[in-house]
Structures are given as structure tokens and as C-alpha cells.
Chains A and B, each alone.
Chain A
Amino acid sequence: EAQVTQNPRYLITVTGKKLTVTCSQNMNHEYMSWYRQDPGLGLRQIYYSMNVEVTDKGDVPEGYKVSRKEKRNFPLILESPSPNQTSLYFCASSLTPRGSTDTQYFGPGTRLTVL
């Protein structure tokens, strides 16, 4: 089954404790991205990757890191989480780098709470 998976689905942590949210897709997609969803703001892009070893900042990259060492995986790293990073996070992928007409496939989401 074609899918995007994220782990963990729920995470409660404390300020400053490094964490990683994993994202994996099995569709051989080139383009992957991370979004955060906050009430009244829709989804905002954090980082995106057009292919292996090619990553770039989205609209709200502060406090986040990513890597793309393999085509299928795109982990999101919070080196020193803060309470304002409490949010619902979605990973997404699409077939081509530009993604302008491609359907984005979304993971199930990771709800992160930083105390």
C-alpha cells in the first residue's frame, strides 16, 4: 500500500530535550516536506527536500533541522525544543521535485507537546 508513515504519532517532551520525528514514504517520491498545523493558521511549510541531499527552508524553519540521506526518509529534528513548537506536524511527499501540479500525499500526523 502506498503510504507516508510518521513516528511517533504522539509525543510529550520537555524544553531542551532533543527529539527526532521520522518520516518514510514507499512511493519512490523525489519531493518531501514537513508542515506544522496550528489553529487558524492552516499548514505552514517548515522544510522541504527536492531529492537526496537537497534540502531547503520553507516558511517557518527556525528551531528545526532536516536531513535527506535516503530517498524514502526525511526526519525532522528539534535540537532544543521549546513550548512554541507544540503543534501538529505533517510529513508529505509528491512524485516530482516541483510538485506544482502533483498530488501531495500526507502522513497521519505527529502531535507534539513541549512542556
Chain B
Amino acid sequence: AQSVTQLDSHVSVSEGTPVLLRCNYSSSYSPSLFWYVQHPNKGLQLLLKYTSAATLVKGINGFEAEFKKSETSFHLTKPSAHMSDAAEYFCVVSGAGRRALTFGSGTRLQVQP
């Protein structure tokens, strides 16, 4: 069995300040982990993924995430928020088995000017 907990349903930051979106997971297997972003009225787009290679993963638009097995975490960070980062972010875990993906409940990121 696998599950994902996104610790914050809403995060608000000022433009130019760092972003931290928190994600904890549980999995019976060695997981693959993803972050997807959903802009308003759009589909989901892959930001980055961890698949048991380097624990620090770099994604698109300056985002990165660090896989910490001891803490079962996969937090998403960005050094400096931009207005265009305002969106909903989903942490996703995938393990062995055929159902592929389990989604977290999402974190809505607001960026204030």
C-alpha cells in the first residue's frame, strides 16, 4: 500500500521569496515520486520526478525536490517565487503494482506581488 500526505493545503508567499511545499509519503516498495502542477483551468504538467537515481532532483521552471528516505519526505522548493508559479501542486507516489499513481490532496500556492 502507498499513500501521500501534503502537509499544507494552502501556501502564500511574496514574489521573490522562497517556496517550500511539503510532502510525506509511505510505500511498501522503493517508490518513484513526482510533483505535478496544475494551473487554473488546465491539465496537469510534470514538474519533476525521482526514480532512485540522484536524491536531489531538478525540474522545470527552477523547481527542485529532495528525496529523504529517512524522513519519508519529498519536499518541493524554489529559491525565488514568480507570479506565474501560482497554481495547485500535487505530490504523487508510484510503487510496484499496476495502479501506478497515488495523488496527494494538493497544495494551492498563492504568490503575492
Contacts and interface: CB of A to CB of B under 8 A. Distances in A.
Contacts of A43: 44, 90, 101, 103
Interface of B: 4, 9, 32, 34, 36, 42-46, 49, 51, 90, 94-101, 103-106
A103 B49 contact: yes
A99 to B, nearest CB: 4
Contacts of A50: 98
B90 A58 contact: no
Interface residues on A, range: 20 to 34
Nearest to A56: B98
Nearest to B46: A103
Query: Main SS of the interface on chain B?
Result: loop
12 contacts: A4-B43, A40-B106, A42-B106, A43-B44, A43-B101, A44-B103, A50-B98, A100-B94, A100-B95, A104-B44, A106-B43, A108-B42
A40 B10 CA distance: 11
B44 to A, nearest CB: 4
B105 A42 contact: yes
B98 A98 contact: yes
B46 A98 contact: no
Contacts of B43: 4, 90, 106-109
Contact of A33 (B97, B100, B104, B106): B100
Interface in A88-115: 90, 92, 94, 97-101, 103-104, 106-109
A74 interface: no
Contacts of B103: 35, 42-44
Given A43-B90, A107-B43, A108-B42, A99 B101 contact: yes
B90 A42 contact: yes
